[in-house]
Amino acid sequence: RMDQALLLVRNELPAQGLRLAARSGACHQCLYQLLAFVPPSNGSLSEPGTVVVMVDTQRPLALQLNGSVGDRELCKIQYHFGEFGNYSLVVKTLSTSTKTVSCDLVINEGPINSYLPILFAFLVYMGILAILIAGHLFMKIDPVRSWVYKKLNPRETDRLINSELGSPNTTDSVSSDPTLRLWSPASRQRLRSLDTFRGLSLIIMVFVNYGGGKYWFFKHESWNGKLYCPSSLFSRFVFIMGTSISLSLSSMLKWGSSKRKVLGKILWRSFLLILLGIIVVNPNYCLGPLSWDNLRIPGVLQRLGFTYLVVAALELLFTRAGAESGILETPYPALQDILPYWPQWIFILMLEMIWLCLTFLLPVPGCPRGYLGPGGIGDFGNYPNCTGGAAGYIDRLLLGENHIYQHPSSSVIYQTTMPYDPEGILGTINTIVMAFLGLQAGKIILFYKDQHKQIMSRFVIWSIVMGIISAILTKCSKEEGFIPINKNLWSISYVTTMSCFAFILLLLIYYLVDVKRLWSGAPFFYPGMNSILVYIGHEVFENYFPFKWKMQDSQSHAEHLIQNLTATTLWVIISFLLYRRRIFWKI
């Protein structure tokens, strides 16, 4: 099967059988798991004891062979098997006098290169990009531009050139059309970099949710871990939501909306996001018709809705007239985007203290205080039912086991049996912190409007500060830090690390799109303008054609990759067409 190899174990020892056990290289402090018992040889080398097992190829494996007599360890092998490979493990005695045992791993049939489809897909998309860039350059040639004007409707052509290639020297036509004026370079008010950032995160999230070609590195880390692509997507979405809150609330208040009216919009939007998450996007549908018995209460949209409510209300409550325009005087001008909002910082620090106290001080039955592990076979199997520590306990206590996520990522490697929700109650506190850091990025943009060097330098400073905090909390280690990076727990080190990367990514996109205008943000800009529609749409229509079809070979990475990339590309095209027709679904 996919992500598996075949291993034939040959036992040529005449006197004893063998116990073959394995442990994944990604499983921290895990117990070896028995794979098979290999019978002894009958004394003739022509008939050794054999057994065939399937081994995982996603990560390196540690194989352990113990003799059935005295349970003595005979040998241990570390090896990363290749997908669809065929291997033999030959166990034999080298010397009868010393009873030295050798374990030799032989490759009978080489594995396939399962990464070639990724390379091919990359080349295809680079080819499409090259064609689009060539078309863009050709449109700058006067004869080509004139031919396009003749072939296409003049008004439509003018709109196309203005929106994608910049305004030609026909200012009268631009100024006469409000749609064109909105997107003309001279008067463009909306920061395209924010929508591009949001769209980039969203499109990769859609690809990963559709399966990511079934590659292991497009799946969430089992527990503590390496920051693979999926681990950063939701956090970036939360970050840019915080940035948008700052800009949108400032705009509404400047246009004369009362705080009461704005608060009503905040409450309504939060309610809709939570409702959509519970009713429309609910993975527990696969357990049967929607009912209270199996309804999952936490979720991505639910957490986004509640986070939006807290951060937007916090910004609305403590916003100060004149602060963003620099009218208010502060004793430290370098901190003018922070000091006027000191009540917000106190509130956020209090929230973080609550998270720390609950995480490390709350007694959890049957678990050590402050436990942050996955449970299952982790920590040498001492705490099998302690998945997530206080975070998992709070969810199971307040929501009930049937109303949280039933198949957490820890169940694959750590073989956990307890349900655990990565969008649970306790982790929402740090999601609010993440959105608040994004809110700070929005304030920087407002305070230093059109001062590109100031904006970018402050993004760099914030990134460095977040990186230093992460280094202290984790001791620059995956497992040995004070608070490891963990997406399932939404640990504070995960928040600071993801914020560090988010500030850098926003800086790069802001520089390319809004400062130098070397990139229009396409194609990610379009789904970024319709993010809620794309996210809900891809969840609702996930199992319908043309987003999914019956495969000829379900064990092929190539077929899964083609299907997942096709579905993701279709959502980019849909968002582009909606953008062209000026259709935006806003909540």
Q: CA gyration radius for the chain?
A: 28
Residues forming a β-bridge with 56: 4
Of 28, 220, 403, 557, the active-site residue reads 220
Contact criterion met (CB below 8 Å) for 266 and 312: yes
Check residue 306 and give its pLDDT. 97
80 classed as catalytic: no
CATH for 4-109, options being 2.60.40, 3.40.50, 1.10.357, 1.10.150: 2.60.40
Contact criterion met (CB below 8 Å) for 561 and 121: yes
Check residue 328 and give its pLDDT. 56
Check residue 179 and give its pLDDT. 34
The pTM assigned to this predicted structure is 0.88
The structural domains of the chain, with segments of one domain joined by +, span 4-109, 192-320+340-581
Check residue 172 and give its pLDDT. 38
Check residue 157 and give its pLDDT. 42
Check residue 170 and give its pLDDT. 35
Check residue 468 and give its pLDDT. 97
Containing H/E element for 84? none
Q: Pairing relation of β-strands 86-95 and 4-11?
A: parallel
Contact criterion met (CB below 8 Å) for 138 and 110: no
Backbone angles phi, psi at 33, to 5 degrees: -110, 130
Identify the CA nearest to 62 among candidates 31, 87, 84, 41.
31
State the 10-residue block means of pLDDT for the chain, 587 residues long: 93 85 92 91 74 93 87 88 94 73 91 94 94 84 78 52 40 36 42 94 94 89 76 89 93 88 95 90 58 83 96 90 57 77 94 97 95 94 94 95 90 92 96 97 91 95 97 92 94 96 96 93 94 92 92 92 96 95 88
Check residue 4 and give its pLDDT. 94
Structure tokens at 205: 């999230």
Check residue 7 and give its pLDDT. 95
d(CA 171, CA 4): 63
DSSP tag of 186:
T
Contact criterion met (CB below 8 Å) for 74 and 103: yes
Residues forming a β-bridge with 22: 33, 63
376-395 as b/e: b if 16+ CB within 10 A: bbbbeeebbebbbbbbbbbb
Check residue 22 and give its pLDDT. 94
